[in-house]
Structure formats: structure tokens, C-alpha cells
Chain A
Amino acid sequence: MKKKLLVLSIALLGSLFGSHVMGQNQNISSNSLNLGMPELSLLSASSTPINLVLTTSVAGEAVLSSISDESARLKISSVITSATRTLSASVSAVPAGTTLTLQAKAPIGNNFGGTQGEYAAAQTLPITGSATIITAIGSCYSGTAANDGYVLKYTWGLENPATTYGQVRATGSGVTVTVTLTLTAAI
């Protein structure tokens, strides 16, 4: 008998409180969001030609052994997935008896953000193949102002005057060469 009463009591309680319990099972909802960030690998270099002249005014001297310029900039936008990137460079031609080297240096100013990578020492630019200028470039951006971007230091000089000076030739209005910079995934 006590059992039946208990069952009845429970049934009554159930109908009394049932409505309160219902409806609370949906007080949670959710939204799905797709957050997309594609890889980026963009470069742009300042377009102003760089003029380098080697000469002398003293009889008996070779021309200036080398001359440098740090006016060029290389802007970058990079978003990596995991592997870091490498910046490499090559040159279209180099006058006989001379070499052209390139060294990238840290950006000037405060517009750069992210992982700028590690800079190699000055590299002689090859005509075939390429020289590695910066390694371990991560996700980064340089800014877009005139002075933003990696500083590119070009040095044009006599290769080894004691043995190759005989190959040096004067040029009227200068020899125009093109340096190609490439951003790649790490090898």
C-alpha cells in the first residue's frame, strides 16, 4: 500500500513540476563561423633605377674599387601556413671584371609587423641560379610607405683587379641590369 501511495505521489509531483522542467533544454544555441586566411606571398620593389658609377680622377689609380647604394626597398606581404619563406635574387648580366652583391637589411621605421626573417651576408648575385638573401621569413607585412620594406644594399665593384682589370670596359651611358627577387617557400 505504501508503495502505491509512493508511486501516486511521484506521479502527482511529476505532473506538477513537469512543466517547469520542460523548455530548459534549449537555452543554448550556437553559430558556426568560417574564418578564412589564405596564404599570401607578395613582393614589390621601388621602381627608381639605381645608378652606380666606378671611376677615378687620379692617374695611376684603378677606378674606385666598389660603390654601394642603399636606396632600394622591398615591400612584402606574407602569410605562411607553416613552412617559412626564403627571399632569393639573381641578376640579368654583370659587366666583365666586376661583381654585383646584394645584402638585405632590416626595415627602417616602425611600419613592419611580424617575422622578418634572418639576413644573409652580402651575396654575389649570379646570372644563373639565385643567391639566398633572407631566410625564415614568416607571416609579416612591411607597410606601403616610400621608405617601408627591407633595405636592399647593392654594391658594385671590381672583381679582382690584379687579374681581371684587363676585362673592364667603359660604357657610354651605363649598362642597365635587372635584379630579380623571388619569395619562395622554404626548401
Chain B
Amino acid sequence: MKKSLLVLSIILLGTLLGSNVMGQANGTASNTLSLGMPELSLLSSPSGIVNLQLTTAVAGEAVKSSIRDSTSRIKISSVISGSTTRKMSASVTLVPNGTYLKLMAQTPSTNFGGTPGTYGTDVTLSSTATTIISGIGSCYSGTGALDGYVLRYIWGLDNPAANYGLVRAVAGNTTVTVTLTLAAEI
């Protein structure tokens, strides 16, 4: 068994030192470098809570038809293999009855480098993940407070003429969670 270990050690040494030893035969030398660049697929979003409120003060009016917020950002670090780009998708835990929640990814800050992909369409969120950005390549967003894709949320009444009867007041707020996922495009 010790013999085997010895053999193994020699083989290992051989592999480790091999490249240095080789190539000295004819006056040229070469180095082999292993350059590692693993795939990266990192997302992070500020932990601040987005507050949206719909109400009115005038008898006869429905509550405000929609309200929007563009304070949220999503930072990204992406390194892809080959040509398989990525997509960012979003889903939401729940949306109050009679309302919709839309999300649009918008142009990130100038600290962004790389291939940001295609975005800029309002997407109605549901519990099923829906693509908000497609064609994301290798890129980085920067890490400042305002870096990253801008996330614009719109909360509004979903066809009030037909659905307003479903609307309910909530003491305090309804807290919902939007989950953003970066994945390979098929």
C-alpha cells in the first residue's frame, strides 16, 4: 500500500512540475496558466419596503386608479458560458382582489457594464414567474445605492367598473413579496 502511495505521489508531482520541466529541450519555454472564470449569477435588491397606497377624499370617486414607485433597484453580477443568455423573472406572493401589480425593469445607472438585455415592458405579476428582462449577458451593475436596474412597480385597480366590488380595505397594509430570479434562457 505504501508503494502505491509513493507511485501516486510521484505521478502527482509529475503533473504539477511537468509543465516546468517540459519545453526546455529546445531553448524555448512555456508556461501553462489556468485562468478560472466561473459562471456568475448574483442578484441583490435593497431591503427597503416599497409603500403604495390607493385612496381618495372625494365622494363619488373610486380610489386613485393607480400609484407607482421607482425607488427599488436590482443589482446583478452575471457571467455566462458560451452564448446562453439569461432572463430575469418575477413572481408575487399575492395581489389584493380587484387590483393588479405591474413591474417594469428600466435602464440601470451609468455604472452598469456589459450586456443588460431587453427590458422596458410592464408585466402584470402573478404567483407564476414572468420574464421582465431577457437576453442578459455577462454584466455587472455596480454596487452603489442607486446602481442596478430600476424596478418600477405600479399598483392599481383592475377594471374597476366590473371588479370594484371585490376591493377591500386592509387595516395597516397588505405586505406582499416579489421574488426576482435570474436563470438561463432556454
- Which A residues are within 8 Å of any B CB, using their own CB? 1, 4-5, 8, 19-20, 22-24, 26-40, 42-44, 75-77, 79-82, 110, 113-115, 138-144, 148-149
Residues of A within 8 A of B166 (CB): 139
B119-175 interface (Cβ within 8 A of A): 151, 153, 155, 160-162, 164-175
Separation of A39 and B53 alpha carbons in the complex (Å): 12
Separation of A148 and B39 alpha carbons in the complex (Å): 61
Most buried by A among B55, B59, B155: B59
Known: A33-B153, A44-B60, A77-B59. A27 touches B176 (CB 8 A): no
Give min CB distance, A1 to chain B, whole Å.
Answer: 5
Decide if B60 touches A76 in the complex (CB within 8 Å): yes
Decide if A76 touches B50 in the complex (CB within 8 Å): no
Separation of A98 and B172 alpha carbons in the complex (Å): 49
Closest to A74 in B: B59
Give min CB distance, B158 to chain A, whole Å.
Answer: 12
Chain B, interface size category, equals: 35 or more
Decide if B173 touches A26 in the complex (CB within 8 Å): no
Decide if B52 touches A33 in the complex (CB within 8 Å): yes
Known: A23-B40, A31-B178. A114 touches B59 (CB 8 A): no
Residues of B within 8 A of A24 (CB): 39, 41
Decide if A37 touches B96 in the complex (CB within 8 Å): yes
Residues of A within 8 A of B151 (CB): 31
Decide if A19 touches B160 in the complex (CB within 8 Å): no
Give min CB distance, B56 to chain A, whole Å.
Answer: 6
The secondary structure that dominates the A interface is mixed
Residues of B within 8 A of A115 (CB): 164-165
Residues of B within 8 A of A23 (CB): 38-42
Known: A1-B4, A113-B164. A32 touches B175 (CB 8 A): yes
Separation of A146 and B40 alpha carbons in the complex (Å): 61
Decide if A77 touches B183 in the complex (CB within 8 Å): no
Known: A32-B175, A33-B176, A144-B61. A26 touches B43 (CB 8 A): yes
Decide if A32 touches B170 in the complex (CB within 8 Å): no
- B177 contacts A by Cβ under 8 Å: yes
- B8 contacts A by Cβ under 8 Å: yes
Residues of B within 8 A of A141 (CB): 60-63, 160, 164
Known: A42-B59, A79-B63. A36 touches B53 (CB 8 A): yes
Between A and B, 10 residue pairs with Cβ closer than 8 Å are A28-B182, A29-B179, A31-B45, A32-B177, A33-B51, A42-B58, A114-B164, A140-B164, A141-B62, A148-B60
Separation of A35 and B177 alpha carbons in the complex (Å): 11
Decide if B60 touches A39 in the complex (CB within 8 Å): no
Known contacts A75-B60, A115-B164, A144-B60; 20 additional CB pairs below 8 A are A8-B8, A27-B41, A28-B43, A32-B49, A32-B175, A33-B50, A33-B52, A34-B49, A34-B175, A36-B54, A36-B174, A37-B55, A37-B168, A40-B63, A40-B169, A44-B58, A77-B60, A114-B62, A114-B167, A148-B60
